[in-house]
């Protein structure tokens, strides 16, 4: 099943057809980059359920790593620029967090 087939578009409302996702036997592998505390992962987990397996995560911020661990019982790798591409497992989906630097008050 392709990702395109997982979505059922209604002329009045766009939505994900969860029954199509839950009926597939394919398990997609995902990586979670710039993961923060895992918010994007939560959304994908809610939609794909047991049909998604998170095989890698990366987050540079130590406090976010601690929270990610509390949320998912795994510690993300640190700085993505220090990780060799060969160390990242094969995957079907790349999740990447939205850069928060522009919205942070930490540097003011």
Residue 4 pLDDT grade (very low, low, confident, very high; cuts 50, 70, 90): very low
pLDDT, tens only, 34-58? 999 999 999 999 999 999 999 999 9
Name the DSSP letter for residue 59: -
Q: What is the mean pLDDT of residues 96-102?
A: 72
Parse the chain into domains and list their residue ranges.
16-98
Catalytic residue among 44, 100, 104, 107: 100
Query: Measured in whole angstroms, how far is the alpha carbon of residue 106 from the centre of its chain?
Result: 25
| pLDDT reported for residue 89 | 96
CATH topology of domain 16-98: Rossmann fold (3.40.50)
Annotated catalytic residue 29? no
Q: What digits encode the pLDDT tens for the residues 72-94?
A: 999 999 999 999 999 999 999 99
Give the strand pairing for 7-9 and 14-16.
antiparallel
């Amino acid at each position: 099943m392709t990702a395109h087939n997982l979505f059922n578009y209604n002329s009045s409302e766009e939505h994900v057809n969860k029954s199509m996702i839950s009926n597939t036997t394919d398990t997609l592998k995902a990586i979670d980059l710039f993961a923060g505390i895992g918010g994007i992962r939560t959304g994908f987990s809610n939609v794909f359920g047991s049909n998604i397996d998170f095989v890698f995560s990366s987050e540079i911020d130590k406090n976010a790593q601690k929270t990610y661990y509390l949320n998912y019982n795994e510690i993300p790798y640190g700085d993505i620029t220090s990780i060799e591409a060969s160390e990242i497992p094969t995957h079907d989906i790349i999740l990447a967090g939205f850069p928060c630097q522009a919205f942070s008050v930490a540097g003011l």
